[in-house]
């Protein structure tokens, strides 16, 4: 019988319980999140906070939030906010996540979760101590095509996995967002772009036993690009790359002894195409996503389902895995020579 891809089992985001969300830092990713929240979920945007009250008010008007605040502390103190989305630069994730947690709020923290492992561990410990939900906003984990990939791995459809490849490059330096060039904001390619192939490989391989990296730094000391090799306990290899100097194919593959998966256009996003390919190169099956207009709504719905069920984390992006991936990112930065102020 020919091999075929399993159908995705991703729950309908519209069916998730409604939470009242607060957004800290109304920047570009917050705008994408709020757009998806309104278009594809039953979630409610309750409040938004910025250090600039006029900016928060403008965002609130645009997306229909009930309240706008000129301080982050004021938002997390709002009793009508159920869960907080931390959308600030990486350098602020640790402090803002703890601010929300200490106020008794669950948190969805943009990826990369924090600057380093120590900060990640502190946020996780704080959430567990306070008994509130916490999750890294690695939105790719919750997309339908990744559910297909996950099922293929669980069913052993590919045979023994031998190699994983993934890359993520965007032309964002030197003319892109200035935060990517700034060490004080934990800039560089790795935490912004490289987190995608690293998290994907960690999902596929079930963890890393070694991480080897080389990279190119900018004149300000952040990484412009990185080439990374990882190994797993089974002996499988991952070959990963990231750059903010050029647009790369942003594809991924999982190669096993029985078949391989090829993921195109971009592998981490809602428009990805998954192809199941035989060892002789024949395409056996393919999965094409249906609704490709948005993607961030799937993670919001996952948070709502878990919080509604009284759970404190998601098994699809478990907190211990987030900390482990952060540890691998630390190893990459150490090897390429990137250190952020205050570390």
User: What distance in Å separates the CA atoms of residue 202 and residue 205, rounded to the nearest whole number?
Assistant: 5
Side-by-side strand order, sheet with 134-137? 67-69, 44-49, 20-24, 83-86, 106-110, 134-137
What does the pLDDT read at residue 310?
A: 98
User: Are both 174 and 121 inside the same structural domain?
Assistant: no
pLDDT digits (tens, 9 = 90+) for 113-167: 999 999 999 999 999 999 999 999 999 999 999 999 999 999 999 999 999 999 9
Q: What is the dihedral of CA 174, 179, 180, 181, to 10 degrees?
A: 50
pLDDT digits (tens, 9 = 90+) for 52-92: 999 999 999 999 999 999 999 999 999 999 999 999 999 99
User: Are both 153 and 247 inside the same structural domain?
Assistant: yes
Q: What is the mean pLDDT of the chain?
A: 97
User: Are both 148 and 71 inside the same structural domain?
Assistant: no
In a domain, 6, yes or no: no
Catalytic site includes residue 111? yes
User: Are both 21 and 167 inside the same structural domain?
Assistant: no
User: Are both 126 and 168 inside the same structural domain?
Assistant: no
User: Are both 149 and 278 inside the same structural domain?
Assistant: yes
Query: pLDDT category, 293, cuts 50, 70, 90?
Result: confident
pLDDT digits (tens, 9 = 90+) for 322-336: 999 999 999 999 999
In a domain, 306, yes or no: no
Reference 76, options 68, 84, 85; nearest CA is: 84
The yes-or-no verdict on residue 292 having pLDDT over 80 is no
pLDDT digits (tens, 9 = 90+) for 258-287: 999 999 989 999 999 999 999 999 999 999
What are the distances in angstroms from CA 120 to CA 162, 180, 274, 325, 334?
A: 30, 20, 32, 10, 17
User: What distance in Å separates the CA atoms of residue 4 and residue 268, rounded to the nearest whole number?
Assistant: 22
What does the pLDDT read at residue 276?
A: 98
In a domain, 159, yes or no: yes
Task: Give the CATH number, domain containing residue 279.
Answer: 3.30.360.10
State the catalytic residue, choosing from 90, 111, 115, 141: 111
In a domain, 5, yes or no: no
pLDDT digits (tens, 9 = 90+) for 173-225: 999 999 999 999 999 999 999 999 999 999 999 999 999 999 999 999 999 99
């Amino acid at each position: 019988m020919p091999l075929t891809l399993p159908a995705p089992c991703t729950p309908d985001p519209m069916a998730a319980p409604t939470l009242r969300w607060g957004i800290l830092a109304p920047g570009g990713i917050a705008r994408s999140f709020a757009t998806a929240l309104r278009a594809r979920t039953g979630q409610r945007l309750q409040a938004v906070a910025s250090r600039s009250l006029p900016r928060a008010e403008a965002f609130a008007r645009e997306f229909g939030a009930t309240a706008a605040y000129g301080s982050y502390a004021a938002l997390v103190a709002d009793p009508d906010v159920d869960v907080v989305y931390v959308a600030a630069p990486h350098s602020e994730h640790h402090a803002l996540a703890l601010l929300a947690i200490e106020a008794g709020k669950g948190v969805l923290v943009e990826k990369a979760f924090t600057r380093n492992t120590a900060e990640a561990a502190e946020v996780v410990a704080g959430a567990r101590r306070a008994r509130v939900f916490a999750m890294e906003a690695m939105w790719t984990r919750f997309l339908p095509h990744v559910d297909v990939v996950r099922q293929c791995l669980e069913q052993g459809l590919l045979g023994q996995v031998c190699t994983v490849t993934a890359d993520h490059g965007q032309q964002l330096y030197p003319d892109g967002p200035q935060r990517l060039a700034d060490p004080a904001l934990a800039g560089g390619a790795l935490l912004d772009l490289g987190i995608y192939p690293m998290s994907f490989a960690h999902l596929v391989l079930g963890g890393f036993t070694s991480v080897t990296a080389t990279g190119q730094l900018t004149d300000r000391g952040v990484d412009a690009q990185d080439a990374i090799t990882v190994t797993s306990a089974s002996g499988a290899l991952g070959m990963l790359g990231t750059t903010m100097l050029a647009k790369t194919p942003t594809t991924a593959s999982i190669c096993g002894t029985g078949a391989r998966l090829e993921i195109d256009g971009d592998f981490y996003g809602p428009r990805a195409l998954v192809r199941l390919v035989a060892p002789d190169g024949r395409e056996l099956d393919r999965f094409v996503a249906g609704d490709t207009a948005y993607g961030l709504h799937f993670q919001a719905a996952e948070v709502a389902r878990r919080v509604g069920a009284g759970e404190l984390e998601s098994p699809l992006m478990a907190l211990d895995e987030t900390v482990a991936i952060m540890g691998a990112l630390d190893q990459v930065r150490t090897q390429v020579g990137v250190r952020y102020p205050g570390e």
